[in-house]
Structure 1
Amino acid sequence: MDLIRNVPPALLAAISGPYFHPVVLAYLDWPGAPLHAHSNGGDINWSGQTWLGVGKFGRIDIPEEAFGGVPTEFTMAIVTDFPDLEDYTDTAIKGAEARVYLGAVTERGGNQLIGAVEIVSGVADAMGMTPELVELSDGSLVTMYGLSVTMTTGPSYRSMAAISHSHEDQQRHHPGDTAGRHLILAQAEAQKTLWPEP
């Protein structure tokens, strides 16, 4: 399988080895205070920004890549004490841009970045807050709160409806053009698996 993303050579060399130390970097254009964070500790300086380490107090749920540009969702969340989040609960987040990158660092849990590549991007759709039970380093359990932002990737369902194009649409705009007839049921045909092959 070929890589379809533009992976920096140093990162490609690192992830091609027998093992590597991954890191996830996340950007959210939070109104008035853009957020740059990563999944390890300490700061990472990359792409002209300082990315703050959130460790186990940050979480990102990435979707599988969708076929045909179907809108999918992913969630970015940060977990902390409620007073730290209270000022953010009334923020108008809808439409804010977000990007998630996968990278590699020189050592486990480190902050010396070898390189990173974007794996998903989208815009904010909704925000919520839920209580979570968190284990501290001393083994005690405390209740903290997770502020999560749901992001939508790809075109919206409304946009998709506007750009949907069929053989009939093609005939209306270009009478006599027969190329569209070859696309009828093409996706369904492509998804069929025959085993064993006839």
Structure 2
Amino acid sequence: MNQTKLLSSNPDRLDHLFTSVQFSEVLSPVVQPQAIIDEEQIDHLLIQIGCHSNRPVSLRKLHTLMSSFLLQAQRLANRVQRKGGQMVIGWPHDEAYWRTRSNVGYPIVKKLRQALLDNGWITHHKQPTKNLYHGEGNCNGYLIAGFVPELADGIAFQSSELTYATKSSAKEAKGKKVTNEALDKRTIAL
């Protein structure tokens, strides 16, 4: 892989190329509804935004994504109350991230993100920045609407059973449970 070095006599002119947006919360499938009553509440929310699925596997993935989104929205709301700021969540748009780092899959994530946008639960807030020298990028930022954290009131969550793959090929990693020792640093950080 070839890298092009960026040279300038004025380093301030390149600062914008090397800054990256860091988010307190990044959407990742970390929790799911704890009990059937919690699943029913999540189902109601998914129906409300037009993102419910009749396919059991897709519904399980949507439960996990919606639960994780709601929990992270509550965390951000608490952080904003303590420290100020805005409820901006990082949301990876990279297909490879969703196909190889989680068992959720890219189409499900796109469907949920679009439904949340269409219903005003989130608005696009920040484009990802990219370090052109290292070829690294990160998440888009989405501003979460003020009413969203309250939607999670009364819903109990538990750790997700979805596994995180560390292989570059989704085909190789499919169906394998991965222990904490095998997780790469980025997955652990999420």
TM-score category (smaller protein): under 0.3
Q: Which structure carries more helix by proportion?
A: 2
Name the TM-score, length of structure 1 as normaliser.
0.22
Larger Rg: 1
Where relative contact order (Cα < 8 A, 6+ residues apart) is larger, the structure is 2
